[in-house]
Structures are given as C-alpha cells and as structure tokens.
Structure 1
C-alpha cells in the first residue's frame, strides 16, 4: 500500500472518491459528492490517497484553520472492504506528517453521532457535560475509538449539532510541541530515539505478515518507548479494538509472579530453598520425600503433573471431566495433582511442571493464611505499580480486557472462555498490560520487589533445558558464553500467546501480548534478530 498526494488530474480517482463519499456519508453527499471532491482538492487543502495493487483504497483531506497552525481533518474515507487493514491509520499518520511540514501544530476533527452509537447521544449534554464526556461508551462501532487509538482525544462536544440529542464529538491531537519542533506523535518520537523509519516499516510488514495478528507490541529501553502499537480486536463479536493499555491473559507467564511470591517469603525468613515439601504441608504424602522448594521452582521435582505438556497437546481437553468453572482456588486442583507416579528423583533433570506451581501457591496460602491472589496482589503487583493487572474471573472480566480466540477442531474461531480455568492462579492466568510488564522489569531490577541477593539467585540458571537455554526460578534464562543474554517470561493457552524479554546488558525490553495462540513467539524473535541486536 502506498500513500501519495491525490492525483487531481485523474477523473477515475476523483469518481472513485465521490463514490466512496456517497457510500460512507449518504446523508451528506448523496447528491453533491463530486462537488465535495472539488472542495477536498482545493489548492489550499491537503488531499492524500491510498493505492494498493493499482486499486483506490481511500483518501483523507485537511483544511487549514487558525492561520494554518490548526488543521481540520476532513474527510477520512476508506473502502468498506478494506477497513480494519490499516488503511485509515496510514492515511492519518501520513496526513499528520504533511500538516507538520506545513507548520501545523494541531489537528482537530468533528465526528458526528447521528445514529445513537455512543452514550453521548440520546442524553442532554447541556447537563453534567464533562462527566458524560469522561464516561463515554461506544455502543455501535463509532469511530471516536479509532481516533483515540491514533492519539486523538475528546476535547468537547457540540450538543444537538445534528438534531435533538445528536451531538458532534470534537477531537484533537497536538502533533508538534511548538512551531519550531518536529512531529511529536508518540510513534514518530520513538523513531527519532532509536528505530529508523525503514526499520519501523519492516517491523509493521512483519506484523502484517502474521495472519490476523491481534495484540500489542512494545519495545522499550529504560523509560524510552521505541515502539508500542495495538492491533486487532479485543472482542470480535462487538468489534471492540485492542488498545495499548488493553489487558491480556499471559497463561504460564504468571508462574513468575508465583515464584516472586515465594521469593518474598524467603526474604522474610518464612521459607527457604531447601525446605522439603512434606515438612510444609501434609497434602502430598505420596510424593518423593526429597522434593524441595528449589525443585518446585525450577521444574526439577519429578512429581506428576496434572497437565503434562509433553503428553497432552490441548489444554482444553482437561476440562472434559473436570469442569473449568469449578477451578477458582489452588486447592480446587488437588484431585488432579494427586494422580500419577513420580517421574524421576528430585533434581535429576528438567521437566516443565504446571502442578509444581499450583503446589507453590498452596504453600503460600498455608504459610500466610491468606488467599493466594490477594497475597500476590499485595506483595508483587502493588509494589511493581502494576495497577491495571490482576487475576480476573473469566465470567467477570473488567473493561478493556481482551478475550482470547482460537480455532476449534471444526476450524471455527471461538472464545477461550470454556478452555481455561475460570480464574487464573499460581501456574497461569493473570492479566497484564504491556506497560505494566515494563514496570515489573524496571521495579525488579531496581530491587523494589525482592532483595538483591534473593533476586540474584532467582535469575541464576538452575536447570539446563537446551544449550544456552536454561531455567531459573519462574523465569527462562538464555546465555551466550558465560554471560546472560536474555531473561524471558512466556506463556501459551488456547487463545493466548505471550512473551516478554529483558536484555540485561542493554536494557532493552520486548513484550508481545496476543489474544490468539500465535504471534508473540515469532515476532519477539524477529525483533531480537532485526532490531534489538542492531539498533539504528
């Protein structure tokens, strides 16, 4: 796809633009769409069009106002069959650069609500105006959320602009901090700090190449955000978009939070790495007598696993006989944990074990005499300032949370609400945002979660999985030679794919959150090989 200046000499493109105006705005341009195209193409205005494979995809225009420091975005029109494919976003981003080049500081627009698509319609906006704007809700795929995703914010309303209780919602975005400064769009600012525009385009082509990619991609270094974008839908049925601050499930990534909870108890002297399981609880008398805390943390315990990923491919198969909606507490897993035989002697080898982390959660509850999720929230999430993250029940998800989707055996895209435990716990299921993951990395390495000596032990490679690929306590460790190259937290469930990596030598952070079963792994590796290792 290419965004270029509108070809004013092409009658075909002008006719195509007029037809799109009639289709998208029949109330306004059913009779005079060609006249409106002549207005759009006026000499003093900006008009850009999107072309892909020789096909006219849409166009955007802008009108200079306020002595050209402020520009009105009007109109933005995209072919209906090409929506949700990035055409509108590319048009607006290119328009912003052109406006900045012409001395513009701000772009504003009016987006009408004539069809009762938001909570601002069918209400008297002359009463309690600001509260109603602050609590706006989208009832019918109104485009204000699309513009919010691009950095525009609601700055006011014109009540009754389109008829009684049919307002015009006013939105605006500052694109330069002063007349002398360059474009300050968050995406462009990040490019100036690190990624060249060429690298950014390569990254977005990679993302586009992942079929129906849905999630958030974040690349940071310290406090500097080099790239953070959201793609796809959090709710397919209602066409609710993912945003940069959308919450995503991270499946087994939650094991790190459980490990940190154990680390907190170690810091407080309530438990030690060498404590034996049978000395801490009498719930597992048949397990090997030498199973210790350190073995449970490092997947080297040898205890039977309720979900052995080398035996069972589909996590959702577990809930055929054991209803997932009954699994709300760590102890609810006890009937599953006590089945099976010991696989090997403790410490003998690495074997990924979900059940071991359920047991660690039970130990936390027995020692502290409080609910596992309350303990983690109080001692890990809150100190890490992860204010938007938590263990949310699937039947009571908070707003701005992504539902997970996957293809069933019939090839149908379905929600994962019946494929994972109803509430996340010690071995998986916490919900996080990309920014909260960044806060966790920063707080962790600043010594604000665990004491430095404890943290050092947790980040040490305790079990070798493959050459240069090891496991610490709740975290994956990749080495190069004698040095740690990368720390990584990752998880996968039906409708969930997550990976967050921290590179200690350089301070890079790469987090990819997906509400599909794919995308995060391949994309994280590509970023590492093409961007992180070669910053521009």
Structure 2
C-alpha cells in the first residue's frame, strides 16, 4: 500500500484518526486525519491519544503473564481460588489460561454474539466504573455458556475477571499493575488509563451517530477502562510496544504468548494468550472496536513491520486496515 492509496481511502470514507507504518524500526508512513474534537475544531495529530477498546486486552494478558512469570499466579490457577464467593456462576474449574484464551465458557456482560448495535447502552451507571471491583455487579448473573475448555468464544467479561484476579493475587490495583509491568518496561510514555469525563487536550473524543448526529461516546463506556479494553495510546507508542514485546522487555517467553492456542476459522485467525494471530503466518494482531473507537495494529516479527490504524469513530479504522497486508 502506498501513500496515495491511504489518502484516497481516508478521503472517500471521511476517516478520522492516525495511520502509521514502520519497517525495521524506520517510519515509512505516518499521517493524521480529521478532528480529535469536533466541537472545538481540534485536529488529530500524530501525537493524539486514542482509545483502543479491546486492543488493550493484550496488555492485560501481559500484566497477568508477568505475575505468572513471578510465580504469583499460574496458568492453571482457578478463578474460584481468588474470587471466593464472588461471581458464583463462574464454574469452579475455570482457570487463568481459559480466561486468557477465551475458552472459559463464562457468561459475558458484553456478549458479542448478541443481536445488538454499537450505539446501544450496556454499562448502566458508567460513571461508577472507576475500579475493577466496581465491575462485579455487571459481571454477575450471567449463566455459563459451555464447559471450560470446550471451545473458543470471545469474552469481554473474562478479561475483567483476569484484571480482578491479578489485583487480588498481586496486591496492586490493576491500573498500577499494568503501568508497572507493561507500560513502563515497554517505554510507552504516552499510554495510560484516562477518565472519559476529563480527557486531556491531547486525547481524541470518540464519536458515534446518535439521533442523526455524531455525539460523544461518554455515556457508552466505563468512565475508566479495566481489563477488557479502553486504554488510550498513540501510534508511536504502539510501535514501541511491539518492539519491546519481541525484545523480551515485558515478559521473558514471548514465544508462549504468541503460540497459537485456538483456531478461530470464522475470523480467519488464530488466538494466543491475549493476542490475535494470522491464520497461517507469524503476524500478531491487536484489534479493538467499541462505541466511538476502532483500532487495528499488525506486527510481523520476521520483517519488523508494523501497520497501525487508530480512529475515534466506530467504523473508521476498517477500510484502511483491510487494505493492509494481513
């Protein structure tokens, strides 16, 4: 894909966001498009921070795996051993590995198999969701879908449960744990958990169509992200992340993280521990989609090529991401 192709797609689709392509540590393309804040006419820049929705599940996985590396958790640690009497509908044999690989079978508070629209409201009192423990009422009351390990079924709630387990096992709040074990070792200086009701000037507001106009996503998402997604980052930090991950700066055994654990033929992909994998190559992916956010970043460890698209609209990233090599 060449610069003109990206510009053409961006113009035709009204793309709002940032595109960056790195190869071997060198930037081949980096450009910002559209507004970060439509009310005040603030444009996106290469340094704008975007919410990446489920793209941050990989970071959650790495924070958990750092605890596994330290012997604080094990992949076969059961959720029940740390949940106690909380979330009684989670089966007693569900393990950390089941949650990391979306094979836990637990019921999901944000079930992507349900017949819903991205504009629907899911989280109720969004302003109360400032801690992982605050998610417990949302996570509760969802019956098991299938026995643990039976099959792959993408589960947002499972990654909030992982954040909760990591907090309880490590004795550190999830946000601080992820900063200490992932962001700082990776050198991701512009990535953090931002409150949606007090976004800093360098963060893009997420937009989605409501009642015939584009409105902010502030009522659609938790006010502060947890384990299932929503951290804010930049295109440059994502490139930094991939280099750090494969240099062993976050966890020792990257091969275990990106080893295929499950085939997901309906997505033409495979899945590792918190990361999507190409169905036949070594390319690793982070993908996020939510109200007012879309994101995809692919990294080929053989060539050191990273392709990243971040957008502050729900459909924005996909036309350009589809044009990239998988």
User: How would you bin the TM-score normalised by the shorter chain?
Assistant: over 0.9
User: 2:50 touches 2:310 (CA, 8 Å); kept in 1?
Assistant: yes
What is the rounded CA distance, in whole Å, between the counterparts of 2:106 and 2:207 in structure 1?
32
User: 2:108 touches 2:156 (CA, 8 Å); kept in 1?
Assistant: yes
What is the rounded CA distance, in whole Å, between the counterparts of 1:347 and 1:318 in structure 2?
30
Q: Does 1:216 align with 2:15?
A: no
How much does 1:206 deviate?
2.1
Q: In 2 relative to 1, CA 315–425 (structure 1 residues): closer, same or farther, beyond 3 Å?
A: farther
Partner of 1:475: 275
User: 1:316 touches 1:420 (CA, 8 Å); kept in 2?
Assistant: no
Partner of 2:251: 450
Partner of 2:87: 284
What is the rounded CA distance, in whole Å, between the counterparts of 2:201 and 2:213 in structure 1?
25
RMSD over aligned Cα atoms: 1.5
What is the rounded CA distance, in whole Å, between the counterparts of 1:431 and 1:237 in structure 2?
20
Partner of 1:273: 75
What is the rounded CA distance, in whole Å, between the counterparts of 2:171 and 2:239 in structure 1?
30
Give the secondary-structure state (helix, strand or coil) at the position aligned to 2:295. strand
What is the rounded CA distance, in whole Å, between the counterparts of 1:364 and 1:297 in structure 2?
12
| Unaligned residue ranges in structure 1 (runs of 5+) | 1-194, 530-536
Task: Tell me: higher relative CO, structure 1 or 2? Use CA pairs within 8 A at least 6 residues apart.
Answer: 2
What is the rounded CA distance, in whole Å, between the counterparts of 1:318 and 1:329 in structure 2?
19
What is the rounded CA distance, in whole Å, between the counterparts of 1:293 and 1:315 in structure 2?
29
> Which of 81, 91, 113 is 1:310 aligned to?
113
How much does 1:319 deviate?
4.5
User: 2:246 touches 2:301 (CA, 8 Å); kept in 1?
Assistant: no
Residue pairs, 1:48-447, within 5 angstroms = 199-210=2-13, 212-282=14-84, 283-314=86-117, 317-319=120-122, 322-408=124-210, 410-447=211-248
Normalised TM-score (structure 1): 0.59
How much does 1:256 deviate?
0.8
* Aligned length in residues: 324
What is the rounded CA distance, in whole Å, between the counterparts of 2:239 and 2:19 in structure 1?
12
How much does 1:314 deviate?
3.4
Deviations 1:292-332 (A, max 9, x none): 11100010000110110111523563447x21111111111
Give the secondary-structure state (helix, strand or coil) at the position aligned to 2:306. strand
Deviations 1:329-380 (A, max 9, x none): 1111111211121110111111110110010000111012221101101111
How much does 1:498 deviate?
0.5
Normalised TM-score (structure 2): 0.95
What is the rounded CA distance, in whole Å, between the counterparts of 1:397 and 1:323 in structure 2?
19
How much does 1:522 deviate?
2.4
